[in-house]
Each structure stands twice: as C-alpha cells, then as structure tokens.
Amino acid sequence: MRIAVDAMGGDNAPTAVVEGAVLAAREYQVEVLLVGQQELIKEHLSNYNYETGKIEVIHASQVVLMDESATEAVRRKRDSSIAVAARLLKSGDADAMVSAGNTAAALATTRVILGKLKGLARPAIATVFPNAIDFTVLLDVGANAGGCGPEHLLQFAVMGAVYAMDVMGKKNPKVGLLSVGEEKSKGSAITLDAFPLLEQSSINFVGNVEGKDITNGNTDVVVCDGFVGNVILKFAEGIGEMIFDLIKEELAQSRLAKLGMFLALPALKRFKARVDYQEYGGAPLLGINGGCIIGHGKSNAYAIKNAVRVASEFVSHRVNEHIEQYLRTMREI
Amino acid sequence: MRIAVDAMGGDNAPTAVVEGAVLAAREYQVEVLLVGQQELIKEHLSNYNYETGKIEVIHASQVVLMDESATEAVRRKRDSSIAVAARLLKSGDADAMVSAGNTAAALATTRVILGKLKGLARPAIATVFPNAIDFTVLLDVGANAGGCGPEHLLQFAVMGAVYAMDVMGKKNPKVGLLSVGEEKSKGSAITLDAFPLLEQSSINFVGNVEGKDITNGNTDVVVCDGFVGNVILKFAEGIGEMIFDLIKEELAQSRLAKLGMFLALPALKRFKARVDYQEYGGAPLLGINGGCIIGHGKSNAYAIKNAVRVASEFVSHRVNEHIEQYLRTMREI
C-alpha cells in the first residue's frame, strides 16, 4: 500500500514529517510517498536509515501556509504538496494521503481534485476524542462551519458509524445526536428535524446526547453541526492547556509537590498517552472520494507515524466503499 | 440586604442549602430567607448556631424536582420554593434569590413572576468559567437552547459586559463573539450578522474568538447561542470528570505514584480551588427583573454560601440597573 504524505504540512514540517514517515515505513507494511520540496526532503531523509523502495520523494513546487485561505490555496497553488498528493490518489499512484497542514485547504483541495463520495451531500471532518473507556468519534468539527441541515447530520451519522466500525473496530456503534437534553423535544431547529431522520434510519441511534456524553464513554459517535463541533474541538484543546498550565504554576510553589509529581510521573504519562491526540493519529476527512487523514498542526514524528497507520487502515478496511454502500441502501429503503 | 434562598433546590437539599445559608449569614452582611418546607428546614437549622434575625424561614408547600418540565413547574407548582422566593423579590421582601434547583424551572418561574428587564428581548444564563488567569463569563449557556438571533447575541454581550464589570470587577471587559475563526468572514449565519452589530456598539468588542479563548484568559466575556453554550458547559463538566477518573485509574496501579500524589496534594488542591465551580458561586440569570443566582445542582454548603455572596454583589453593584441603562443608551444612539 502506498500512502502519500504532505511533507510540507504542519508547524514542524518538514523535520517531524520526514521522521514520522521513516518511522512508519519501518513499522508498517506501507510505502510512503513524501510530497513537497524535493531538495529539502532529501536533505532531511539523509539523516535516517530506511529500506530502499519504502520511501519515495515526489516533488511539489508550492507550499500552502497554515493560515492561508483555502479558496486561494485551491486557485493559486495547483502545485502545492497537498494538491500533488491528492493527484497521486486520483491517478491511483497512492492509496491514501496524510497532511498535518492547513485543514481547510486540504479539504477544499481534495474536494476539487478527488470529488465527493457517491450520494453524499457534504463531506465532514471527524475527530477522535478520548473518553473514559476508549474513544468517541465527533463530527463534523469544521468542514461545514457555516452550519448544516438535518439531512447532512444524518449522513454524518452514517460516515461516523462506518468509521467507528471499520477503523476503530466497534460493533454496531452507538450514535448520538448532540443536543441540550436527552428528551426528543429538546434541541435547535436543526437537531429537532434531524432526530426523526436518525430514528428512522438503520443506524444504532441512541437519541439526543449532551456535551458530557462526548467524554463519558456512553456514545461511540456524536453527530453535530460543523460550527458546534469546531467550537468544542478548540475548547477541548484550550481546557487541556489551561489545566496543564495551572497545575504547573501551583507545583512550582512547592518542592515537595514537585517531588510528588515526579514520583507520580509514570502514572501521569500513562494518563497523558490515553488523552493525547498524537496517539490516535489524526482526523479523517470523511466523504471525500479518497482516504485523507489530517494530522494536528502541532504533530510530531510520532503523530505523523500514527496518522500513516490510520490512513492505511482507512484503505484496508475500505471505509469509503462501506460509506457509499450505506448511503445507497438508505436511498433504496 | 435580604437574600431568598431556595432551601429545596439541588441534589443535596435541604442539608447543604441550610448549612450554606448559615455560613453566609455568619460571614456576610446579609439576612437569609430560607424558602421551602418549614418543618424540615427548621429541623436542619436546629443543628446550627447563628445570630437571631439573620435567618428567617418562609414556608412553601411545593418542591420542583430536578428533572421536572419547566412549563409544568410554572403551571402546577405556584407554591414551589422557587415561586415563593421569586414573589419575595417581586414584593420587595427580598433583594435577590439563590437556587441550586432546576435551572429551567427557575428561569421560567422568575420570568413569569418578575418579568424581563426593560428593553431586553431575551434573558440568558451566564456561567463563570475559570481561565488561565482568572475567569471568563460565557453566555448564553441554555436559556435559549433552541437558538438565538444576532440582536439577542448583542444584548447578551451587554449583559455579560455589565456583569463582568460590576460583579467581577473588570474594567472595560473584552467581549468576544464565539465562532470558528478569528476572521470576520468566518462563522454561522447568525454570528456573521451579529458581528457588525457588536462592532458598531460601544462594547469593547475584540471580534470573533474560538473555543480556546474561553480558557486562555484573553477574553473576559464570550457570547454565544444558548445551544452552543449549553453543549460547551456540559462538555466542560464531562471533560473534568473524565480527566479525574482516568488519573485516578492510572494512580491506582502504583503505590509510588499514589505517594507522589499525596505529596503534591496541597498544590493540587490549590489548582482544584482555581477551577472549581463551587468557588465562584453560581450562574446568574441575566435579563430577569430581579437578581437570581443559580447554583450548580451538586452544590455543597460552601457553594451555596458563595452563591449568596454573588447574589448580594449582584444587588449592591446594581447590575440590573446598569444593564437597563446600557440598553437604553444603545437604543438612543
């Protein structure tokens, strides 16, 4: 299997991306195509040992910046590393792609180059949140930040459920509709209309869920509007940072406390590993006609490696085929 | 000053509420009117010493349950402790009220009995979130869970700013509009329309903010739709519980780690105090013609005591008068 990796995407590119690609090539049954500025990538690659033939460099002359407008990126940067990677998928030279770069640009670029899945109205960005037991898929977290209709929420539910089954190994995943109360009568105009659509579908719909259900492990897939999902995603990052900073500040005031934390460090590291985004390897763009995994902008080599693994699972478990199948079945009913 | 306290509201009522009222009566220059089932309250009160005349018991024959529908509570429980407390405000026998009971019922009941502030379209529930430096006011967190229009968001901004100034002592508080990106062009249909309204107002509007800005201390007041705010509020509670549970789980696996955490305990307790809702004493119902502070359902005595303090500050700083003034000035411009 061949995974195209955007070597220029992310805050730590290309250093962390090249290292992550090498780690992935060593550990997994994949061939990595590193896409970006050839000379630069080769220079970084020369620091590592890897099996010949497991890493290939594909040149792309342009780079999409992290804060660049997605529309501009699509229009003016046709030879960006993202665009070149997407065209490798289109031509069949790669099976999936990974980018830790500009998410909006990746979405817009892959949408133009690869198109949408058959029967799908709108792609969505899914994110995998740690919960009290394992993981919850939350979508949409930003592909439709201007808002979505009830029928889009239904399709997000389908995509989230397939992803949870195929990549996360959940049998008959429980899908909840994010709202302000469990009662059917509670919610916004959009969730109220989406509720019966989900209820009538063949999805394992558990009804309305609340913000706390994203983390308590009761629900495998939580479906929401791209505006709400994006706010939650960024709030979660912010709250994590705040907790870390405040604890550090309080610990700094006492040597004994610092010693204590040192003793507790192995346990705290295990905790961190359970909630760390770097472990579960990125957010899938669902609904694009091709597997595309978006890494966090701050991805280190380890996170990139995991994103390559997720991309390969996305392909081997045939997520897109299953989504199209599901959508077709729903239309036929 | 006289604060009516709903003795029957909350998971730990009346025990924790009565104790909290006693603590408040001892510590603050307030007289507490404990509203609810007379015999029961008096029985609990008999466990404490307090200055005669600082606590009075007012009988209310009915109790609104935590999960009862707000409409039902308003219609069928006219003698509930919430309704009796609200009527004490209406008649001038109390200056403000505190309830840790059913939030929706408190909102609906006070709205019917006390009415809205002059010039205000919709009340909002504000919550005070800990951030990296001090606190951020987030509103609406659920009074308008079905959604709000741009003009409502503008009024929420006014109410939040006045609350931050009067009760939290912030000078010229920075007000942000919760959205999916800092750029003016990013957001939902409602936030896009609200942006120019906020920009043209005399509020210290800092533009769009993201989920992370609720906790990083950059913004004093964050304004959002009641649906979004409610989801965030419950997500924050969920994430706090999850972190606590996962850390406990990992610590349980090692004696050394447990010892370490014991040594770090004073620092961790200081941290907890900074992020604990019990410290900052409840969520104000803003826009109601009367001061009403809602305590968390899980409030202990300490949280109730703090809610009484916040209620007294709400009155002494004349929050409602200032909100009406602000709204009037805006209409005149």
Q: Which residue has the tokens 């104000």?
A: B284
Pairing state of beta strands B124-130 and B283-286?
Answer: antiparallel
Q: Of B253, B269, B292, which residue sits at a domain end? A: B253
Q: Which residue has the tokens 């109220």?
A: A192
Residues A29 and A91 in one domain: yes
CB pairs under 8 A between A and B: 207
Q: What is the CATH number of the domain that holds A197?
A: 3.40.718.10
CA-based nearest residue to B204, from B161, B233, B258: B161
Residues B99 and B159 in one domain: no
pLDDT for residue B84: 98
Residues B109 and B205 in one domain: no
CB contact under 8 A, B275 and A210: no
Q: Residue A115 is encoded by which pair of tokens? A: 């198109």
- Please report, to the nearest 10 degrees, the dihedral formed by the alpha carbons of residues A290, A294, A300, A306 taken in order: -50
Whether B20 and B300 have beta carbons less than 8 Å apart is answered as: yes
Backbone φ and ψ for A118, nearest 5 degrees, come out as -65, 125
- Chain B nearest C-alpha distance from A160 (Å): 19
Please report whether residue A262 resides in a domain: no
Residues B39 and B131 in one domain: no
> In angstroms, rounded to a whole number, what is the distance separating the alpha carbons of residues A75 and B36?
67
> In angstroms, rounded to a whole number, what is the distance separating the alpha carbons of residues B333 and B324?
15
pLDDT for residue B279: 67
> In angstroms, rounded to a whole number, what is the distance separating the alpha carbons of residues A247 and B328?
44
CA-based nearest residue to B331, from B118, B157, B111, B126: B118
Please report whether residue A59 resides in a domain: yes
Please report whether residue B155 resides in a domain: yes
Residues A229 and A319 in one domain: no
CA-based nearest residue to B144, from B227, B71, B223: B227
Chain A residues closer than 8 Å to B146 by CB: 187-189
pLDDT tens track for B253-270: 888 888 888 888 887 787
CB contact under 8 A, A211 and B237: yes
Q: For chain B, give the mean pLDDT.
A: 93
Whether A19 and A308 have beta carbons less than 8 Å apart is answered as: no
List B6's β-bridge partners, or say none.
B35
8-state DSSP, B77: -
Chain B residues closer than 8 Å to A268 by CB: 247, 250, 257
Residues A83 and A169 in one domain: no
8-state DSSP, B214: G
pLDDT tens track for B105-125: 999 999 999 999 999 999 999
CA-based nearest residue to A135, from B219, B147, B190, B242: B242
CA-based nearest residue to B159, from B129, B124, B127: B124
Chain B residues closer than 8 Å to A180 by CB: 142, 145, 226-227, 230-231
pLDDT for residue B333: 64
Residue B287 lies in domain = 1-120+278-319
Please give the full DSSP string across A97-151, using - where no structure is assigned: EEE-S-HHHHHHHHHHHH-BPTT-S--EEEEEEE-SSSEEEEE-SSTTTT---HH
Residues A283 and A191 in one domain: no
CB contact under 8 A, B253 and A267: yes
CB contact under 8 A, A132 and B211: no
pLDDT for residue A279: 67
Residues B20 and B113 in one domain: yes
Chain B residues closer than 8 Å to A213 by CB: 238
- Which residues in chain A (254-293) have CB-CB distances under 8 A to chain B? 254, 256-268, 270-271, 274-275
Residues A240 and A313 in one domain: no
> In angstroms, rounded to a whole number, what is the distance separating the alpha carbons of residues A172 and A20?
33
* Closest residue of chain A to B238, computed from CA coordinates: A212
- Which residues in chain A (40-99) have CB-CB distances under 8 A to chain B? none
8-state DSSP, A14: T
CB contact under 8 A, A261 and B266: no
pLDDT for residue B188: 92
Whether A294 and A123 have beta carbons less than 8 Å apart is answered as: no
Q: Is the pLDDT of residue B198 over 70?
A: yes
Residues B111 and B8 in one domain: yes
Stated as kind and residue range, the H or E segment containing B86 is: helix B81-90
CA-based nearest residue to A213, from A245, A237, A180, A183: A180
Residues A236 and A184 in one domain: yes
pLDDT for residue B5: 98
CA-based nearest residue to A251, from B132, B264, B248: B264
Residue B49's pLDDT band (cuts 50, 70, 90): very high
Please report whether residue A265 resides in a domain: no
Which has more confidence, B242 or B211? B211
Please report whether residue A271 resides in a domain: no
CB contact under 8 A, A262 and B261: no
> In angstroms, rounded to a whole number, what is the distance separating the alpha carbons of residues A216 and B238?
7
Most B CBs within 10 A among A103, A213, A231, hence the mutation to make, goes to: A231
> In angstroms, rounded to a whole number, what is the distance separating the alpha carbons of residues A220 and B160?
36
Which has more confidence, B176 or B182? B176
- Pick from A131, A147, A275: which is nearest to B188 by CB? A147
Instruction: Kindly provide the residue ranges of all beta strands, DSSP E only, lying in chain B, ordered along the sequence.
Output: 2-6, 31-36, 55-59, 96-99, 124-130, 135-139, 175-178, 205-209, 221-223, 283-286, 291-294
Query: Which residues of chain A have a pLDDT value below 70?
Result: 277-280, 333
CB contact under 8 A, B232 and A243: no
- Chain A nearest C-alpha distance from B106 (Å): 17
CB-based contacts of B49, cutoff 8 Å, min separation 6? none
Chain A residues closer than 8 Å to B131 by CB: 242
C-alpha to C-alpha distances, A263 to B2, B49, B266, nearest whole angstrom: 51, 45, 15
CB contact under 8 A, A264 and B264: yes
C-alpha to C-alpha distances, B272 to A92, B110, B240, B323, nearest whole angstrom: 53, 32, 11, 32
Please report whether residue B331 resides in a domain: no
ipTM of predicted assembly, 2 dp: 0.89
Please report whether residue A85 resides in a domain: yes
* Three-class DSSP category at A8: coil
Q: Residue B323 is encoded by which pair of tokens? A: 């909100």
- What is the percent of chain B where pLDDT is above 70? 98
pLDDT for residue A249: 81
- What is the percent of chain B where pLDDT is above 90? 76
Residues B140 and B232 in one domain: yes
Please give the full DSSP string across A217-285, using - where no structure is assigned: SS-SEEE--HHHHHHHHHHHHHHHHHHHHHHHHHHTT-HHHHHHHHHHHHHHHHHHHHH-HHHHT-EEE
Q: Which residue has the tokens 């069949």?
A: A92
Cβ of residue A239 closer than 8 Å to a chain B Cβ: yes
Most A CBs within 10 A among B103, B138, B177, B180, hence the mutation to make, goes to: B180
Please report whether residue B266 resides in a domain: no
> In angstroms, rounded to a whole number, what is the distance separating the alpha carbons of residues B144 and B124?
7
- Pick from A145, A211, A265: which is nearest to B180 by CB? A145
> In angstroms, rounded to a whole number, what is the distance separating the alpha carbons of residues A117 and A292?
13
Cβ of residue B133 closer than 8 Å to a chain A Cβ: no
**How many domains does chain B fold into?**
2
Residue B272's pLDDT band (cuts 50, 70, 90): confident
